[in-house]
Amino acid sequence: MGLKNLRLLDADREDGIGLTVVDRCAPDAVTFTQPEGWKDKARSLLEAVSPGKANRKVHSGHVILFQGDATEIKVRAEIKSKPTTEKYTETMQSALQRVYGDEGVTHLDVRGLTARQVAKEVARIIHLGDYTECNLQGRLESIRDGVIATEQKVALE
């Protein structure tokens, strides 16, 4: 388990209040694995969060899931020297939607938006939107147990 995750656990134990913005949630890692490996990946993540007799849980929280045009994302990635393909982007977006579902998730369409416009939308969601939590622990457990699955392969090329 990474330092970022340990800091989140410590902050929750010490304060229990506040606003934390995280750019990647634990379930994201599942989507970097082909579907046949989702159960094992989820099991591994859950064990990393709570090794041995530890009784830690993945923090729930409201997820803002960006969705965009694969062609536009490909161009933006290339500008940042992070080449990708449209097919990869499309399948990753689909996998992320499957992993997170809809409960406690705001799907933000960022097509045609500038970085500033995206930031304003995120701030609006955080400060003015209804807050419902996505049970990230439950989502990982459902993936581990095969309740949440997909047959769609991630297009690596």
Closest by alpha carbon to 132, among 58, 59, 28, 61? 61
| Predicted local confidence at residue 69, as pLDDT | 92
The domain tally of the chain equals: 1
- Owning domain of residue 17: 3-144
- Indicate whether 103 belongs to any domain: yes
- Indicate whether 153 belongs to any domain: no
- Indicate whether 32 belongs to any domain: yes
Half-sphere exposure of 23 (CA within 13 A, CB side): 1
| Predicted local confidence at residue 21, as pLDDT | 84
Tell me which DSSP letter residue 106 carries.
E
pLDDT string in tens for the chain (157-residue length) = 555 556 666 665 566 667 788 888 899 999 999 999 999 999 999 999 988 888 889 989 999 999 999 888 888 888 888 888 889 889 999 999 999 999 999 999 999 999 899 999 999 999 999 999 999 999 999 999 999 887 777 776 5
